[in-house]
Structure 1
Amino acid sequence: MDSQTLQQRIRLGEDSTLELKQVVFRGPQKVVEPHPDGLSDELAAFANANGGTLVLGVDDKTLMPTGIPVEQMEAVRSWLRGIANDRITPPLEIHTQNINLPNAAGEMVTLVVVTVPRSLWIHESANGYFRRVADSKRKLTPDVLARLFQQRSQARLIRFEEQGVANTSLDDADALLLRRFIRLNEGDERKQLRRLHLLADLEGEECLSVAGVLLCTEKPVRWMPSAYIQAVAYSGVNNDPNDQLDAKDFEGPIDRQIWDAFDFVRLNMKVPARKELGRIDYPQYSLRAVFEAIVNAVAHRDYSIWNGRIRLHMFADRLELYSPGALPNSMTVESMQAMSLPRNDVLSSLFARYYPVRDSGLGREYLMDRRGSGVDVILAESEQRSGKKPFIEMITDAELRLTIYAATL
Structure 2
Amino acid sequence: MLDTRSELLEKIRLGEDSFFELKEVKFAGGKVRGPSQEDLADELAAFANSAGGVLLLGVENKSRTVLGIPVEQLDAVEALVRQACEDSVKPALAPIIERMTLPDLSGIEQPVIRVAVARSLFVHQSPGGYLHRVGSSKRPMPPDHLARLFQQRSQSRLIRFDETPVPRATLSELDESLWRRFAPAQSADAPEVLMAKLAMAAQDDQDVWRPTVAGLLMGSRHPERHLPGAIVQAVAYAGTDVVPTGEGAYQRDAQDITGPLDEQIRATCAFVRKNMQVAAYKRAEGGRVDVPQFDMTAVFEAVTNAVAHRDYSMAGSKVRLRLFDDRLELYSPGMLPNTMTPESLPYRQAARNEALTSLLARCPTGDDELANHRSHIMDKRGEGVSIILSRSERLSGKRPEYHLNDDSELVLTIFAARVEQAV
* TM-score, shorter chain, exceeding 0.5: yes
CA distance in 1, matches of 2:345, 2:414: 16
* TM-score, L = length of structure 2: 0.78
Contact 1:154 1:160 in 2 (8 A): no
Work out the CA distance in 2 between the residues paired with 1:372 and 1:195. Answer: 25
The answer on 1:73 being equivalent to 2:77 is: no
CA 1:352–1:26 in structure 2 vs 1: closer, same or farther (change >3 Å)?
A: closer
- Is the contact made by 1:88 and 1:123 (CA closer than 8 Å) also made in structure 2? no
Q: Give 1:401's aligned residue.
A: 411
Corresponding residue for 1:348? Answer: 357
- AA in 1 matched with 2:383: S
Q: Secondary structure at the match of 1:381?
A: helix
CA distance in 2, matches of 1:396, 1:37: 24
Q: 1:123 to 1:80 in 2, by over 3 A?
A: farther
Match of 1:88 in 2: 85
Change (3 A) 1:126 1:288: same
Residue ranges of structure 2 left out of the alignment (5+ in a row) = 87-91
Q: Could you say what secondary structure the match of 1:137 adopts?
A: strand
Distance 1:206 1:324 in 2: 28
Give the corresponding residue for 1:207.
210
Instruction: Return 5+ residue gaps in structure 1 as ranges.
Output: 60-65
Alignment counterpart, residue 302 of structure 1, candidates 308, 311, 323: 311
AA partner of residue 220 (structure 1)? P
- What residue number does 1:196 align with? 198
Kindly indicate whether the alpha-carbon contact (under 8 Å) linking 2:229 and 2:315 is maintained by their aligned counterparts in 1: yes
| Amino acid across the alignment from 1:211 | A
Aligned counterparts, 1:10-409, within 5 A: 16-19=18-21, 21=22, 37-38=38-39, 40-53=41-54, 56=59, 59=62, 66-69=63-66, 72-75=67-70, 78=74, 81=78, 84-89=81-86, 90=92, 92-94=95-97, 115-119=116-120, 125-133=126-134, 136-140=137-141, 156-186=157-187, 187-204=189-206, 205-241=208-244, 242-276=249-283, 277-359=286-368, 361=370, 362-409=372-419
* Residues 234, 268 of structure 2: 8 Å contact kept: yes
- TM-score normalized by structure 1? 0.81
Structure 2 match to 1:63:
none
* In structure 2, distance between residues paired with 1:246 and 1:3: 42
8 Å CA contact 2:280–2:289 kept in 1: the answer is yes
AA aligned opposite 1:250: I
Task: Give identity over the alignment, percent.
Answer: 43
* AA matched with 2:175: D
Q: CA deviation at 1:178?
A: 2.2
Amino acid paired to 2:215? G
User: 1:244 and 1:30 mapped to 2: Cα distance?
Assistant: 33
Question: Aligned letter for 2:81?
Answer: A
Post-superposition shift, 1:296?
0.4
Q: Which moved more, 1:375-384 or 1:356-365?
A: 356-365
Given that residues 130 and 139 in structure 1 are in contact (C-alpha distance below 8 angstroms), is that contact kept between their aligned partners in structure 2?
A: yes
Q: In structure 2, do the counterparts of structure 1 residues 31 and 373 end up closer, same or farther at CA, with 3 Å as the change threshold?
A: closer
Q: Which amino acid aligns with 1:401?
A: V
For the 8 Å contact 2:95–2:115, the answer to whether it is kept is: no
Query: 1:186-205 deviations in whole A, cap 9, x for unaligned?
Result: 32221111111111223312
- Residue by residue, what CA displacement relative to the aligned partner does 1:213-255 show, whole Å, maximum 9, x if unpaired? 2112212221222111111222322222453222222122221
Q: Distance in 2 between matches of 1:324 and 1:270?
A: 28
Judge which range, 273-282 or 362-371, deviates more.
273-282
The one-letter code of the counterpart of 2:69 is: E
- Distance (Å, rounded) in 2 between the aligned partners of 1:273 and 1:127: 62
Give the aligned partner of residue 89 of structure 2.
none
Separation in 2, partners of 1:370, 1:318: 28
| 3-state SS in 2 of match to 1:248 | strand
Residues 144 and 159 from structure 1, CA distance in 2 versus in 1: closer, same or farther, beyond 3 angstroms? farther
CA positional deviation for 1:84: 2.7
